[in-house]
Structure 1
Amino acid sequence: MSLQISILTPERPFWTGQADEIILPTETGEMGVLKNHAPIITGLDVGAMLIRTKEEWNSYAIMGGFALVKQNQVTILANEAQSSVSIDPEEAKNAFESAKLSLEKAEGIKEKVEANFLYKRAKARYQVVKATKKL
């Protein structure tokens, strides 16, 4: 293993371990981190995060936050995080489809912003469940 990863949420330390690679949902797109990555601080968007250990890929839904990469350590301060194994696939699919419809029907700025936020959260959870099936 080459990266030491710590994922922290306001409630508790969410996950700590070593990995070979991590893919983060940043505000400017997905960002991969391997051993000896240049130091960086980046904002995290709501989305799917993937962590590759020697044995497998694991997927997590991250609900925004920040990531610090420095000297083969990745520290993630997430507003909320959820593991793919804790998400019911059928519930995630239904929530995603419902959020998508709500976003399409939203009128007015406030309603569109709220619907978009719920859509992004539901999409992240659904992506994580779908990614687990592919991995």
Structure 2
Amino acid sequence: MSLTLRVLAPDKSVFDGNAEEIILPSTTGLLGILPGHISMVTAIDTGVLRVLNKGKWDSIALMGGFAEVESNEVTVLVNGAELGSSINSTNAEADLEEAKNKFNQLEGEPNSPEKLQAQESLNRARARFQATKDQ
């Protein structure tokens, strides 16, 4: 028995295939999904979705959204997503360092709009970089 996974962003279908196991970055922590999982809906955080298929793990960087699990079908609707295999790891690492520097420059400004935006940019850059590490 396997799962059917669909990852949909506003502009494209990022993934549509089978999986043996899925690990979702929910807003309350990592959530493992196996065949026969109970039906549910959960909010997705910016992070890395991991997919086990034929004994190999693949990664997809997600930029927040929702996931629905029902009858061995998992549908993930997100604001943005990229397959880890399509991300240039050198560029992703450079983007992560740049985002860290911008965030650190705003250390003295707690809860300012600029700092919140820098935190979101850092989260996105970290997710993209982490997704390249499993490839």
TM-score by length of 2: 0.93
In the TM superposition, what is the alpha-carbon distance from 1:55 to its structure 2 partner?
A: 4.0
Which residues of structure 2 form unaligned runs of 5+? none
Cα distance in 2, alignment partners of residues 131 and 96 from structure 1: 17
Output the amino acid matched with 1:114: Q
Aligned to 1:83: 83
In the TM superposition, what is the alpha-carbon distance from 1:131 to its structure 2 partner?
A: 2.6
In the TM superposition, what is the alpha-carbon distance from 1:15 to its structure 2 partner?
A: 1.2
Aligned to 2:71: 71
Which residues of structure 1 form unaligned runs of 5+? none
Cα distance in 1, alignment partners of residues 92 and 68 from structure 2: 29
Deviations for 1:13-44, whole angstroms, at most 9, x for unmatched residues? 22111110000011011111001111110000
Output the amino acid matched with 2:79: N
1:113 aligns with 2:98: no
Q: Which runs of 4+ in 1 moved over 2 A?
A: none
Cα distance in 2, alignment partners of residues 46 and 131 from structure 1: 17
**Which protein is richer in helix relative to its size?**
1
TM-score by length of 1: 0.93
SS of the residue corresponding to residue 91 of structure 2 reads helix
Cα distance in 2, alignment partners of residues 74 and 47 from structure 1: 17
The answer to whether the 8 A contact 2:41-2:67 is kept is: yes
| CA RMSD between the two structures | 1.1
Percent of aligned positions that are identical: 39
- Match for residue 128 of structure 1 among 117, 128, 131: 131
Deviations for 1:96-129, whole angstroms, at most 9, x for unmatched residues? 1111111111135111111001000000001111
In the TM superposition, what is the alpha-carbon distance from 1:12 to its structure 2 partner?
A: 1.9
The alignment of Structure 1 onto Structure 2 pairs a total of residues equal to 132
Cα distance in 1, alignment partners of residues 85 and 71 from structure 2: 30
Output the amino acid matched with 1:51: V
SS of the residue corresponding to residue 118 of structure 2 reads helix
In the TM superposition, what is the alpha-carbon distance from 1:85 to its structure 2 partner?
A: 1.5
SS of the residue corresponding to residue 129 of structure 2 reads helix
